[in-house]
Amino acid sequence: MDGITPTAAPGMAALDRLMERGAAFLGSRYAILGGAMSWVSERNLVAALSNAGAFGVIACGAMEPDRLAQEIAGTQALTRRPFGVNLITMHPRLDALVETCLEAKVGHIVFAGGIPPGSAIKRAKEGGAKVVCFAPALALAKKLVRSGADALVIEGSEAGGHIGPVSLNVLAQEILPAMAEQVPIFVAGGIGRGEAMLSYLEMGAAGAQLGTRFVCATECVAHPLFKRAFIRGAARDAVPTLQIDERFPVIPVRALTNAGTKRFMAHQAEMLAKFQAGELSKEAAQLEIEHFWAGALRRAVVDGDVENGSLMAGQSVGMVDREAPAAEIIAELIGQAAAALARRGA
Ligand SMILES: Cc1cc2nc3c(=O)[nH]c(=O)nc-3n(C[C@H](O)[C@H](O)[C@H](O)COP(=O)(O)O)c2cc1C
């Protein structure tokens, strides 16, 4: 089963019309992006999503260019359908990673983790790739489009991983009416069912990006214990990391609570106390806080240490109830959206 829903299915023609722009931009059957997830979105999940008619995206994370080239080639061996690569803008070798993508003829580069340098956008486009950027606010969305972004992702705070402060519900209302005519905009964060995807398409979104819903795809290589935590987790278990003192900023990351998240609070308190006692400089205390989570996502995803590792997950984790092939998850999302349209006679 490749998960492709026949166009003749009730509501499907109307859904296709709503997804047309996003699907054409991605070159995929459906306007659904598999949001890049470090350690999770490698060749197997990415190819499975693309083969199922969605658009898989490799998470480059901290990979070096050689390693990324291998992952791209590995993915190309598993699918002939298009997929993208997500690059973190603060990677020290960002320019080399862009070249790696271009050499491998990757069609879409997604820049994440901050505003990409204009030169990286320019080079990606000159090299023939389409550029997708994350826009956390309307002013930045406008700036990114001026800098050459071909499409935007707006990701709400419901999402898993590093998050901004604003929900998708509000970002969509601020950004879609103002910007959707200019560039395709994909919505992300907290989307677990097709009806939700449909409502954003009707507001002008070109498509949706989901991450959490795909972690328990059969093809996903995440450790069985990581997947089990997702199947057991409820929306209220996926909470942002808290900062205990504004002098020591913590970038919020939404993850399932575990022993690690509890120890992180104690660790911050300990570093704060050492700073106040003059035992640590402010910089040293901040570094100690930042280092707490180093390698923690890998520990959970790859090693299955679900107690001490980071269980990054979005609030839609409550809608993950089983392991299923990527094609089945995609077919379910598409089926829910098409059925909702069919019920209204669309
Ligand atoms: C385990 C995990 C790891 C993630 N890693 C990344 C990443 O490396 N780069 C990135 O841009 N987004 C990352 N994200 C965010 C996803 O790409 C996606 O935007 C998000 O999961 C969408 O929200 P949802 O989880 O509610 O579907 C990650 C999300 C999760 C759950």
- Does any domain span residue 3? no
- Does any domain span residue 104? yes
Check pLDDT > 90 for residue 5: no
State whether 88 and 53 are in the same domain.
yes
- Does any domain span residue 51? yes
State whether 211 and 331 are in the same domain.
yes
State whether 153 and 285 are in the same domain.
no
Helix (H) or strand (E) run with residue 138 in it: helix 138-146
Task: State the Cα torsion 120-121-122-123 to the nearest 10°.
Answer: 50
State whether 196 and 292 are in the same domain.
no
Q: How far apart are CA 283 and CA 39, in angstroms?
A: 29
The CB of 100 under 6 Å from ligand 1? The reply is no
Tens digit of each residue's pLDDT (9 = 90 or more) over 271-326: 999 999 999 999 999 999 999 999 999 999 999 999 999 999 999 999 999 999 99
The CB of 255 under 6 Å from ligand 1? The reply is no
- Distance between Cα 69 and ligand 1 center (Å): 21
> What is the radius of gyration, based on Cα positions, of the chain?
20
Check pLDDT > 60 for residue 89: yes
The CB of 317 under 6 Å from ligand 1? The reply is no
Give pLDDT, residue 1.
43
Pull the structure tokens for residue 335. 């089926």
Domain count, the chain: 2
**CATH, residue 34:** 3.20.20.70
The CB of 32 under 6 Å from ligand 1? The reply is no
Q: Residue range 147-159: average pLDDT?
A: 98
DSSP three-state, residue 190 = coil
Residue of the nearest CA to atom 16 in ligand 1?
Answer: 35
Contact predicate 89/111, CB 8 Å: yes
Q: Residue range 61-68: average pLDDT?
A: 97
Q: Residue range 56-69: average pLDDT?
A: 97
To 5 degrees, how large is the angle CA 111–CA 114–CA 116? 55
Share the mean pLDDT of the chain: 96
- Does any domain span residue 134? yes
Give pLDDT, residue 130.
98
Which residues constitute the domain of residue 238? Answer: 234-312
Residue of the nearest CA to atom 17 in ligand 1?
Answer: 35
Of 193 and 344, the structure prediction assigns the larger pLDDT to: 193
Give pLDDT, residue 2.
54
Q: Within 13 Å, how many C-alpha atoms sit on residue 307's CB side? A: 1
- Distance between Cα 262 and ligand 1 center (Å): 22
Residue of the nearest CA to atom 10 in ligand 1?
Answer: 36
- Distance between Cα 256 and ligand 1 center (Å): 13
Helix (H) or strand (E) run with residue 334 in it: helix 326-343
Give pLDDT, residue 201.
98
Tens digit of each residue's pLDDT (9 = 90 or more) over 23-58: 999 999 999 999 999 999 999 999 999 999 999 999
Question: Quick one: pLDDT band at residue 174, thresholds 50, 70, 90?
Answer: very high
Check pLDDT > 80 for residue 255: yes
Residue of the nearest CA to atom 4 in ligand 1?
Answer: 37
- Distance between Cα 236 and ligand 1 center (Å): 18
Ligand 1 atom nearest to CA at 210: 27
Check pLDDT > 80 for residue 345: yes
The CB of 211 under 6 Å from ligand 1? The reply is yes
State whether 158 and 34 are in the same domain.
yes
Give pLDDT, residue 212.
98
Tens digit of each residue's pLDDT (9 = 90 or more) over 184-239: 999 999 999 999 999 999 999 999 999 999 999 999 999 999 999 999 999 999 99
pTM value?
A: 0.96
State whether 210 and 91 are in the same domain.
yes
Q: Residue range 265-275: average pLDDT?
A: 96
Give pLDDT, residue 8.
76
| Residues contacting residue 140 through CB under 8 Å, at least 6 positions apart | 115
Pocket test for ligand 1, best of 32, 38, 225 (most atoms within 8 A of CB): 38
- Does any domain span residue 228? no
> What is the percent of the chain where pLDDT is above 90?
96
Q: Which sign does the torsion angle of CA 220, 223, 224, 227 carry? A: negative
- Does any domain span residue 149? yes
- Does any domain span residue 36? yes
Residue of the nearest CA to atom 3 in ligand 1?
Answer: 37
Question: Quick one: pLDDT band at residue 3, thresholds 50, 70, 90?
Answer: low
